[in-house]
Amino acid sequence: MIANLGFAAILIAFAAVIYAAVASLYGAKRGDPRWVESARNAMASTLPLILLACMLIVYLLLTNDFSVEYVWRVTSTEMPAYLKVTALWGGQAGSLLFWNLLLAGFTTAAMLRKWDDQRALMPYAILVGSITQIFFLGLVAFVENPFTPSAVIPPEGQGLNPLLRHPGMIIHPPMLYLGFTGFTIPYTFAMAALIKGRLDDGWIRTTRRWTLVAWLFLSLGLILGGRWAYDVLGWGGYWAWDPVENASFMPWLAGTAFLHSVMIQEKRNMFKVWNIVLVVLTYLLVVYGTFIVRSGVISSVHSFAQSAVGPLFFGFLGIMIVFSVYWLLRRHDQLATANHLQSFLSREAAFLLNNFVFMGVLFATFWGTNYPIISELFTGEKLTVGPPFYNKVNGPLFAALLLLMGVAPLTMWYRSSARRIGMALRWPALAALLLSVALFALGVDSWGALFGFWIVTFSLILTILEFSKGVRARMKRGESPWAAFSNLIGRDRRRYGGYWIHLGVLVMAFGIIGSYFFQQETQIRLQSGESAALGDFEMFFNGVRQFPGPDDLLIKEADLSVFDNGRPVGRVTPRTEFYTRTGQPMTIPGVRSTVGEDFYVIMVNWESATADAATFRIFLNPLINWVWAGGFIFILGTLIAAWPDPVDKKVTAATRARRPAAQPA
């Protein structure tokens, strides 16, 4: 009964969103606002209907109703309640339903919140938003139905994949889904503006904060995914250029380029075509990334198994490409502007160069990710490229981006003085050089690392100076240092939130450079009582214990005493977990963390049959925790930038006060 009710809610929501698409188009063609409002209401009704379906499947998960196939596949009677709830997105069908919930939430909120501000665009925004929702709801209703009954009701469920039980994976997928679905809003309004022919920057003002929110969630999802990989996958790192990692990274790159480029249109009314191309590209990469994850066409530790949704995703992607390109070409002439780039020493040029570098990273990542498909298509053999390819190609491009972070804020709109920029750069460049020389004197002999540290230090100093200049200017008015700092950020959150984001990226870059160039690694077999050393650390193997865990887990845990320069600093307990019900293994490292480095140990295997001996893989990861600290600063900066400015609220209120009575759409 409950399963039937959930499926009925999905079908009603599917019918409602189809009605919304038809009614919005009819209302736009007839100029009848009643039909458009009816379409909006139908669109909004999908949210409670999908929410009801999600609540019902969660109830089935919590009550272990194995008469529903999805419940049997992702839960078991011994799983704790919080994992049963998160099992909603632990499988293909449930995660698609959850995706639809978030998509309906974003679309409904955008349609209701901006109804009066963008009434002329709303019929077409509802139409475009409905198209995306129709596709995803259709998948849930007719292909991946989470309420499908089990052919035979089993006494016990398979349980959630052990890899998904880590706290990072509990939060990581919802963050990515929020980012992916959030990016449909700028695409929806951009396409509405193209269809309607209203090609000023109104759609940009409407969607700027929605874009920032989507970008925030996607960024948080990427950071949490890196932390999950570091804690659970047991290979000593946090980013492997895996296809599914890249699938989330590519729309982030396009969205980041858009957030930079859109400022040029707002300030100079330039690059209208380019900005819409970036929005369209971000949306298409969201769909394509979802296709990679859910089709199984490219193998990955993160992806779902091969599914019937793959060809459907590919077809939908093709339709949306044709749809987007058609309207872009049709309105191309109307997107032309009279303003042009006047100087290569200008903020416009700096942002444009920034976009080109982002597109370079995006192209390299796209090529490497899809190389197995391309090679199989032309040679009949599926070949892959690994991290060395990405590091070699994208490393210099990331270095250019870090350099631009420091230099771009010094440029002016229209044109800048080369002499003034040169004067502003010389002392930070010299200070960064002195640091690199000091590091070389201390024994750092990697030229790649020294150059990387120089770039990071150079841009870091320039970014801090941007804060310093603003604070000093306010202090001259009589404000205290703290008041000057807080008021500086509060009065221009978008600008200084962006600088906070840059600070976070630079701190992360410091950690990435340290861990990439100076990571040490060894593998050794030890018997109980023996020791091994790496760097300044030494560990003693005290033995392994084996014991049963919850939900049919068999746990083998090593006990290691760790010494730093002969001083005891604690114990680490790397372990392996084997889920006997499905035969799935998982490796959990033992980590001794400090500000400067991580001593990271993986138990590769335990030879219990012959002796108390085990093989360990040991890593020394310098500066790795700077990556996570930089991620925290990065997220804080995004929150600051996305928070509404008091000035924005006043402008919005004044605009509404001057607005004449609403006209029919």
Strands ordered across the beta sheet of 520-527: 520-527, 613-622, 597-607, 590-593
Residue 596 in contact with residue 622, Cβ under 8 Å?
Answer: yes
pTM of structure = 0.91
Predicted confidence (pLDDT) per residue in 125-142, tens digit: 999 999 999 999 999 999
Predicted confidence (pLDDT) per residue in 19-67, tens digit: 999 999 999 988 888 999 999 999 999 999 999 999 999 999 999 999 9
Mean pLDDT of 585-593: 90
Which residues 6+ apart lie within 8 Å of 443 measured at CB?
Answer: none
Which residues 6+ apart lie within 8 Å of 363 measured at CB?
Answer: none
Within a 10 A sphere around the Cβ of 239, how many other Cβ atoms? 18
Predicted confidence (pLDDT) per residue in 505-518, tens digit: 999 999 999 999 99
Predicted confidence (pLDDT) per residue in 190-246, tens digit: 999 999 988 888 888 888 889 999 999 999 999 999 998 898 877 788 998 988 899
Whole-number mean pLDDT of the chain?
88
How far is it, in rounded angstroms, from Cα 71 to Cα 466? 54
Q: Which of 437, 316, 296 is nearest to 372 (CA)?
A: 296
Domain boundaries, the chain: 1-163, 166-367, 398-518+631-640, 520-625
Q: Which is it for the CA torsion 213, 359, 519, 464, positive or negative?
A: negative
Which residues 6+ apart lie within 8 Å of 7 measured at CB?
Answer: 53, 141, 145, 147
Task: With a cut of 80, say whether residue 313 has pLDDT above it.
Answer: yes
Between strands 584-588 and 575-579, the pairing is antiparallel
DSSP bridge partners of 189: none
How far is it, in rounded angstroms, from Cα 425 to Cα 345? 14
Alpha-carbon dihedral 211, 215, 216, 217, rounded to 10 degrees: 110
Q: What is the DSSP string of 90-106?
A: SSHHHHHHHHHHHHHHH
Which residues 6+ apart lie within 8 Å of 18 measured at CB?
Answer: 130, 134
Predicted confidence (pLDDT) per residue in 162-199, tens digit: 878 877 778 888 999 999 999 999 999 999 999 998 88
- DSSP H or E stretch at residue 653: helix 646-658
Residue ranges of the alpha helices (H) in 229-271? 243-268
Within a 10 A sphere around the Cβ of 302, how many other Cβ atoms? 20
Q: Which two tokens stand for residue 284?
A: 């298409």
Residue 256 in contact with residue 358, Cβ under 8 Å?
Answer: yes
DSSP bridge partners of 146: none
Q: DSSP label at 334?
A: G
Residue 225 in contact with residue 249, Cβ under 8 Å?
Answer: no
Mean pLDDT of 464-468: 92
Q: Which of 163, 401, 365, 133 is nearest to 247 (CA)?
A: 365
